[in-house]
Amino acid sequence: MSLAIQNIIPVIHAKWFGKDESCVIDNVSIDSRSLQNNNGTLFFALVGQHHDGHQYLSELIEKGVRNFVVHHVPEKLADQANFLVVDNTLEALQEFAAFYRRQFDFPVIGITGSNGKTIVKEWLNFLLSPEYNIIRSPKSYNSQVGVPLSVIGINEKHNLGIFEAGISLVGEMERLGHIIQPTLGVLTNIGSAHNEGFASETEKIQQKLKLFENAPVVILQKNDVIEAFLKPGTKAFTWSFDDASAEVLITKKTASSFEIRHKNETFTVTLPFHDKASEENSITCLMVLLYFGYEVQTIQERLVHLYPVEMRLQVKNGINHCTLIDDSYSSDYQSLKIALDFLEQHKTHKKKTVILSDIFQSGFTAEELYSKVAKLLKNNHIERVFGIGDNISAYLKDYPNFIPFATTQEFVAHFNPNEFEYETILIKGARSFQFEEIVVLLEEKTHETVLEINLNAISHNLNFYKSKLKPTTKMMAMVKAFGYGSGSFEIAKLLAHHKIDYLGVAFADEGIALRNAGITMPIIVMNPENSAFAAMVAYQLEPEIYSASVLKKFIALAQQKNLYNYPIHLKLDTGMHRLGFEEKDLDELIGLLKNNNLVEVKSIFSHLSSSDVPEFREFTLGQIQKFDVWSSKLISALNIEPIRHILNTSGIYNFAEYQFDMVRLGIGLYGVGNDAEEMQQLENVGTLKTIILQIKDIPTGDSVGYSRKFRAEKPIRTATIPIGYADGIPRRWGNEKGYVLVNHQKARIVGNICMDMLMIDVTNIACEEGDTVTVFGKSPRVTELAEVVGTIPYEILTSISHRVKRVFYKE
């Protein structure tokens, strides 16, 4: 991209407040944290429910960004940069993208539907790339922001676009259609995803079809209702399993082969999948190939090679304390940019290394491409780059600390584990390079049981609770007990990224571990032990002070260390009767703090004992009332302005009107609410998975497991899975109380749960050794498990043993 700033002004209907009209824009950004921002960046200050890009303008100016699209010019910065003032920065971004799209005249495929958009997009890219130079949406960038950013990636060398569009509200698709301007529409299917935003099924269909307003042809599964809604000028190119009036009739012949009848031709294709969704998505792709006039033989050859699409960037523990970011299935310029931003957000070590394969279909010449790649790597402070492939090896050879390999096999042959330690490593390669072999070498070896943590779900849950609060209310996130069992650094990183105000931990060592992982935000230690005070000060951890004796000891230390205004947090006991000052203690407390400048009361708080129990509503209101009165007394006696806070997760949900200045979010962040209605609004965060080790046929009368607790009354088939009470599975869950999921079906637990294993009944479930087993996740939720064994989800989550590997991912 290379556009004069002056030409952009009329496109987005902006008012110009600037001085340098000669600026040329070569990239667009909406993320102030991206290390890719520079003097050629046009920064759109987007404003969301929980976020305002205008906050970061001075920071960006310092980093060299010169051109901004904003709602208003910040007074202090008026003469320091060019400002393009618009009414709505998101609409301006969309208009800009639509304008940019119009500069190019090549076929563009627009994909929408309820499921399968990203898979179909990735497969089409794979199927069509031998003939075309393709620009496609990176990952699943299909939203109001993602689509414009995808389209802006087009350059002169591209000759085919594939963009996906997803909507959840009425009116959104029209804008996406305006930006994508598809010349071929693809409708994957209409399912139930995102139904809430629409009045009816019909409305949803009509809205989705807005993507195709100006598309001459739309590919879809034959459906008269949908076709009736297409614009008169739009032709439907349809397929069907049973309706012979479709242009393409598909008949399933065997488990994997299908007969295709198109015009006068009949042929067979083989698909490498057995599930219905993959079959339908493959057929959608086949339709595009037919529409593009591909020969039968080519279609047959390519479809067999379709592969499962991994859409997530995964964070894994590596050998020698490394952290891995596994993006081993794709390599293109757009997604490299995203992966580098992700690397910056999730690095647990300062040192960053990238292992990168040749990049295909960038649309640039090799020379242009790799000079751009080198610039990108340099801006992102990548210390070391392993390049795999002939092109990258040749063109990146001057990058400092560049290590070339011709092939993945060569890298594997020369691999020395000692060359990797205490660094964050991005592994990113085109599929053909099979970088999964590299991931295997660098990944920490553990057993097959993993707790997968969905980082998107944490963000979603955070935003859900934020939406219950005033925008000015601060947020403390509780990451005690290893982030409620979900992992602390990775979650703390994500929370830092969301600009949370405070982190809360239980003990000093948890806070120290976070500091060592590079977390710089304020951290409160809830149970400070006297012995840890000195270490806390060394690591800038802020103590909860709950009694006069603790305060005296801390003040003594502050004196000894010459501290000035060291932040402390006063805990009041308004009814929980765990820790805290009571009413009778307040005068002494005031006496100790009056005229004391060694410490500063940063916040005053209390904890609710029963915010989740409706019958104790009055009691809770009483706690809040006491908190208000007591904290007011301290504030006026000491003449201070502390942050006041009392609400935990269920407090936010049930008593949001008492949010004071801050809230302390715990379990809700991890996807657990205190009733079914609240749970509905949250996304599941942790999925505990394992695999089947062995399958056995048990004859009538035989027993299974210790103490012969289970006896087969008829012949059954069992599977043994490597997870037991030492992993945190409650033993009380055994003996047919609990169940796990195998291939989406319930398998009850038979016999006693062992230390490291348990046995399940798979008599009526098709499964094999090695198949995945879900212990809890989206279904069954951890709350179900907790209920069966008579405990609370907090206990289950925090008991998952550390030997269970945590794997973090982002969609």
Ligand X SMILES: *Cc1c(COP(=O)(O)O)cnc(C)c1O
Q: Which residues are catalytic?
A: 480, 706
Closest CA to 127 of 351, 314, 359, 288: 288
Q: Which residues contact 560 (CB under 8 A, 6 or more apart)?
A: none
One-character DSSP codes across 141-185: --STTHHHHHHTT--TT--EEEEE---SSTTHHHHHHHHH--SEE
**CA 714, CA 693: separation in Å to the nearest integer?**
23
Binding pattern to ligand X, positions 504-533, x when CB under 6 A? Answer: ----------------------x-------
Q: Of these, 429, 543, 580, 666, which contacts ligand X (CB under 6 A)?
A: 666
Q: By C-beta, is 175 or 664 nearer to ligand X?
A: 664
CB of 507 to ligand X, least distance (A): 12
- 667 scored as a contact of ligand X (CB under 6 A): yes
Q: Is 478 in the site for ligand X (CB under 6 A)?
A: yes
Annotated binding residue 732: no
Q: Tell me which residues in 205-234 interact with ligand X (CB under 6 A).
A: none
Contacts of 10 (CB under 8 A, 6+ apart): none
Residues in the chain: 811
Q: Radius of gyration over alpha carbons of the chain, in Å?
A: 29
Applying CB under 6 A, the span of 170-178, 313-321, 664-672, 720-728 interacting with ligand X comes to: 664-672
With CB under 6 A as the contact rule, which of the stretches 376-384, 415-423, 658-666, 739-747 interacts with ligand X? 658-666
* Residues in 322-361 at the binding interface with ligand X, rule: CB under 6 A: none
Burial class (CB in 10 A: 0-12, 13-18, 19+), 808: buried
Strand order in the sheet with 248-252: 134-136, 160-164, 108-112, 184-187, 217-221, 235-240, 248-252, 257-262, 265-270
Q: Which is nearer to ligand X, 576 or 590 (CB)?
A: 576
CB contact set of 783 (below 8 Å; sequence gap of 6+): 672, 679, 793
Nearer to ligand X, 504 or 722 (CB): 504
Select 667 or 682, whichever has its Cβ closest to ligand X. 667
Residue 303 within binding range of ligand X, rule CB under 6 A: no
* Type of residue numbered 644: R
The answer to whether residues 751 and 737 touch, using CB atoms and an 8 Å cutoff, is no
Residues 457 and 690: their CA atoms lie apart, in Å, by 21
According to CB under 6 A, which residues from 578 to 617 bind ligand X? 607
Query: CB 783 → ligand X: shortest distance, Å?
Result: 14
Kindly compute the dihedral angle of the four CA atoms of residues 346, 348, 349, 350, in this order, to the nearest 10 degrees.
Answer: 40
Under rule CB under 6 A, how many of the chain's residues touch ligand X? 11
At residue 780, the 3 state secondary structure works out as: coil
Quick one: which segment of 54-62, 75-83, 448-456, 663-671 binds ligand X (CB under 6 A)? 663-671
Pattern 614-653, binding to ligand X, x per CB under 6 A? ----------------------------------xx----
- The Cα angle at residue 37 between residues 65 and 399, in degrees rounded to 5: 125
Answer yes or no whether residue 369 interacts with ligand X by CB under 6 A: no
Looking at the Cβ atoms of 285 and 478, the one nearer to ligand X is 478
We find the least distance from the C-beta atom of residue 97 to ligand X, in angstroms, to be 40
The distance of closest approach from Cβ of residue 574 to ligand X in the complex, given in angstroms and rounded to an integer, is 12
Kindly state the smallest distance separating residue 470's Cβ from ligand X, in Å. 19
Q: Could you give the CA distance from residue 588 to residue 595 in angstroms, rounded to a whole number?
A: 13
Least distance to ligand X, CB of residue 488, Å? 14
Q: Give, in order, the Cα–Cα distances in Å from 686 to each of 503, 777, 800.
A: 20, 6, 11
- What torsion do the CA atoms of 402, 406, 408, 414 make, to the nearest 10 degrees? -70
Q: Which is nearer to ligand X, 369 or 601 (CB)?
A: 601
Convert residues 430-469 into a mask of x (bound to ligand X by CB under 6 A) and - (unbound): ----------------------------------------
Determine which residue in the list 101, 210, 431, 664 makes contact with ligand X, applying CB under 6 A.
Answer: 664
Q: Has 521 been labeled as part of a binding site?
A: no
CB atoms within 10 A of CB 641: 9
DSSP H or E stretch at residue 604: strand 599-606
Given the complex with ligand X, which of 137 and 659 has the nearer CB atom? 659
Nearer to ligand X, 168 or 610 (CB): 610
- Mode of pairing for the β-strands spanning 710-711 and 313-317: unpaired
> To the nearest whole angstrom, how small is the minimum distance from the Cβ of residue 481 to ligand X?
8
Instruction: Give which of 645, 641, 642, 678 is closest to 663, Cα–Cα.
Output: 645
Residue 376 DSSP symbol = H
C-beta of 321 vs 578, nearer to ligand X: 578
Shortest reach from residue 686's CB to ligand X, in Å: 14
Is residue 3 a contact residue for ligand X (CB under 6 A)? no
Helix (H) or strand (E) holding 315: strand 313-317
Beta pairing, strands 474-478 & 217-221: unpaired
- Select 132 or 670, whichever has its Cβ closest to ligand X: 670
Nearer to ligand X, 41 or 648 (CB): 648
Question: Which amino acid, 484?
Answer: Y
Do 319 and 417 touch, CB atoms closer than 8 A? yes
Measured CA to CA, the distance from residue 215 to residue 109 in angstroms comes to 9
Can you spell out the DSSP letters for 6-71?
HHHHHHTTPEEE-S-TT-EE-EEE--TT-TT--TTEEEE--EETTEEGGGGHHHHHHTT--EEEES
From the CB of 293, what's the least distance to ligand X, in Å? 59
Stretch that binds ligand X, among 34-42, 124-132, 296-304, 666-674 (CB under 6 A): 666-674
Closest approach, Cβ 666 to ligand X, in A, equals 2
Tokens of 125: 């890219």
Q: Judged by CB under 6 A, which stretch of 35-43, 54-62, 436-444, 659-667 contacts ligand X?
A: 659-667
Question: What distance in Å separates the CA atoms of residue 111 and residue 101, rounded to the nearest whole number?
Answer: 16
Q: How far is the CB of 602 from ligand X (least distance, A)?
A: 15
In the bound state with ligand X, the residue whose beta carbon lies nearer, of 138 and 668, is: 668
Beta strands in 169-285 (DSSP E): 184-187, 217-221, 235-240, 248-252, 257-262, 265-270
Instruction: Kindly state the tokens that stand for 182.
Output: 């598809």
Round to whole Å and give the CA distance between 28 and 11.
15
Q: Which long-range contacts (CB under 8 A, 24 or more apart) does 774-777 make?
A: 774/687, 774/688, 774/689, 774/740, 774/741, 774/742, 775/688, 775/689, 775/690, 775/723, 775/729, 775/740, 776/686, 776/687, 776/688, 777/452, 777/684, 777/686, 777/687, 777/688, 777/689
Q: How far is the CB of 43 from ligand X (least distance, A)?
A: 36
Q: Which residues bind ligand X (CB under 6 A)?
A: 478, 480, 526, 607, 648-649, 664-668
Residue ranges for the known binding site are: 578, 755
Residue ranges for the known binding site for substrate are: 578, 755
